[in-house]
A and B are shown apart, each in its own frame.
Chain A
Amino acid sequence: MNRASLHFLLAALIAIALPLFMRSGTLASEVLIFAMAAAACNLLLGYTGLLSFGQGIFFGLGSYAAGLTLLHTSLPLALALVLSAITGAVVATGVGWLSIRRQGVYFVMLTLAFSQFFYFLAYTFKDITGGDNGLLNIPRPAIGPFSLGDSWTYYGFVAVLFLLLFAALQRVASSTFGRTLLAVRDNEERARAIGFPVRDFKITAFAISGAVTGLAGALHALLIGVAPLSNIEYHMSESILIMTIIGGTGNLFASVLGAGFYVIVSDLLSSIWPRWLLLLGGLLIVVALFMQKGLWGLLERLVEALPMGRKSSTKSSIEAPIQPESQGRGI
């Protein structure tokens, strides 16, 4: 079995296992919804080397797009979701197009600025977005013959979409496109020198990431029946990034781990100790300092430590490229 099928199987196992271990269908749905958003973020961060603080824009706009469609039109649910994905993709294309004109820190600052801009936009146009209160009473219509009223039924719907999107993102990551993104992350100058229009690749990555994140935002709004202002706040971008980094940026499944960890731990801790975010900050520092491959890296090490895991461990050490000493790049 190759790596991609193994990761898909693991994702499917998680989707099946969540209902067995969790009491709340809402929380379980949240895990998978944020797993989509984090995987989409990983396409930019892990595959393309772009640290985007704009993910919350696409998530929030996805929420609004779905909410507005379902509140003001009689279009079916599926179409509302498609519209959210398109909204996410279109806005991400614009944000990406403008932000990648600058590199490094300035790129990050631009995505941050866009994040603030869209937040104030949502806050200002209260008539459309509901402002502080959010867009309330979003209905959750049936999809075909299936009523999604019950939280576990809705979970089933989210799980199917999650698996479809996860497989699609895996396809993207392993395509010639995804492999070119890895090259861009590794050495952008060389990628350009061998003929790749790097900007077009980055913008396309943004568009795909935006579409998936927009859809995740829509599913979230349907989940809670509200498109809250917090979905487009800077904090949302930050949360999605943290999930992605804690999970690990090496592969897409790592983002599922990161999202699961973040959502479940937040839920546990926030009821016990209101300052639990401190702990999360501490964890982030640990990840940045000692385990840059995130939870996925930790898992890999655990598997290697198992006696039966040894055989595969030699193989994975060859597969995983050793980070070489950074060499000077072409002048």
Chain B
Amino acid sequence: MSTQTPILAADKLSVRYGSFLALSDVTLSIKPNTIHSVIGPNGAGKTTLFHALTGRVRASSGRITLDGRDITHVSDDKRVPLGIARSFQVTSLFQNLNVRENLRLAAQGRTPLQALAPWRGVNPRDNALAVADEVMERLELTHVSDRAAGELSHGQQRRLEVGMAVAAKPRLILLDEPTSGMGIDDVEAMKALIRDLGRDHTVLFIEHNMSIVMNISDTVTVMRAGRVLVEGPPAVVRDDPEVRRAYLGNMITGDIA
């Protein structure tokens, strides 16, 4: 046993949208208890990779394993109880439900069959409620607990979006551009949060903000045109000539938001 079993591994994973190959032979291995980031220009296939890993879209070919177990054909909802949770690049909340209810549902999703009993009320001492309160505290959303998610400010919605993944108490948490559209103060708070999540979770996140990526990642994967371009520790990736040409150069000219 020379190497540790990865918590999540993709082997030659491909995803087709019709005739368009959005993800092509991606092989990826996420080590447990690390912070792993995925970067690359828009359209590189980063979100598609997340969709495939979480079961949102079906892999056209390739294999996904969680702790060595093949989960390629496990549906998205069944992957949550296995310990995978995610946030979305485009905010996707229960707009008409309040913040606490959003998080309570996300916490309940870990044991969804309990919620299938039509006679079970929501106990005030419900574990899911306790988790919701804890996550609200952590994401500084307690003061808007009773507001509908759709009424929150953009920054608050983005925090709740991440909170939905945290509330599932996953082992592996996938965050798709958690800071997109955030103000500077919120970005700093999110950076601190991701680093903090890294203490008791394995974190895989997509991010355009290079200061966050280079500062808190253990490993960086660079994607382009549906493929993995380079992978390695931040220092190595930063100095890779091909990455500079393909991606970072663009960023300096402001091509990437």
Contacts and interface: CB of A to CB of B under 8 A. Distances in A.
Interface of A: 171-172, 174-180, 182-183, 186-187, 189-198, 200-201, 204, 208, 318, 321-331
B93 A190 contact: yes
Interface size for chain B: under 10, 10 to 19, 20 to 34, or 35 or more residues? 35 or more
Given A175-B118, A182-B94, 20 more contacts: A171-B121, A174-B121, A177-B116, A178-B118, A180-B112, A182-B96, A183-B94, A183-B105, A190-B93, A190-B164, A194-B109, A198-B77, A321-B95, A321-B97, A321-B151, A324-B95, A328-B90, A330-B88, A330-B89, A330-B92
Contacts of B47: 331
Given A176-B120, A179-B122, A321-B150, A195 B110 contact: yes
Contact of A195 (B81, B91, B97): B81
Contacts of B120: 175-177
Nearest to B56: A193
A195 B86 contact: no
Task: Find the residue from B75, B86, B89, B97 having the highest chain A CB count within 10 A.
Answer: B97
Contact of B115 (A186, A189, A196, A325): A196
B112 A189 contact: no
Given A176-B122, A204-B118, A321-B148, A194 B168 contact: yes
B116 A201 contact: yes
Contacts of A180: 105, 108, 112, 115
Nearest to B109: A195
Nearest to A182: B97
Contacts of B54: 193
Interface string B45-66: 0010001001010000000000
Contacts of B86: 193
If over half of A's interface residues share one DSSP class (helix, strand or loop), that class is named, otherwise mixed; here it is helix
12 contacts: A174-B122, A176-B114, A182-B94, A193-B88, A194-B85, A195-B80, A195-B110, A204-B118, A321-B95, A322-B150, A323-B96, A330-B88
B92 A191 contact: no
B76 interface: yes
A200 B91 contact: no
Contacts of B51: 331
B148 A322 contact: yes
B95 A175 contact: no
B20 to A, nearest CB: 14
Given A172-B119, A194-B85, A195-B80, A327 B148 contact: no
Contact of A190 (B81, B94, B119): B94
A326 B51 CA distance: 22
B85 to A, nearest CB: 7
B106 interface: yes
Given A176-B115, A182-B97, A190 B121 contact: no
A92 to B, nearest CB: 14
A192 B121 CA distance: 21
Q: Which 6 A-B pairs have the closest CB atoms?
A: A324-B150, A195-B109, A195-B80, A330-B88, A194-B109, A330-B92
Contacts of A322: 148, 150-151
B92 A187 contact: yes
B101 interface: yes
A186 B101 CA distance: 12
A204 B116 contact: yes
A196 B90 contact: no
B117 interface: yes
A194 B90 CA distance: 15
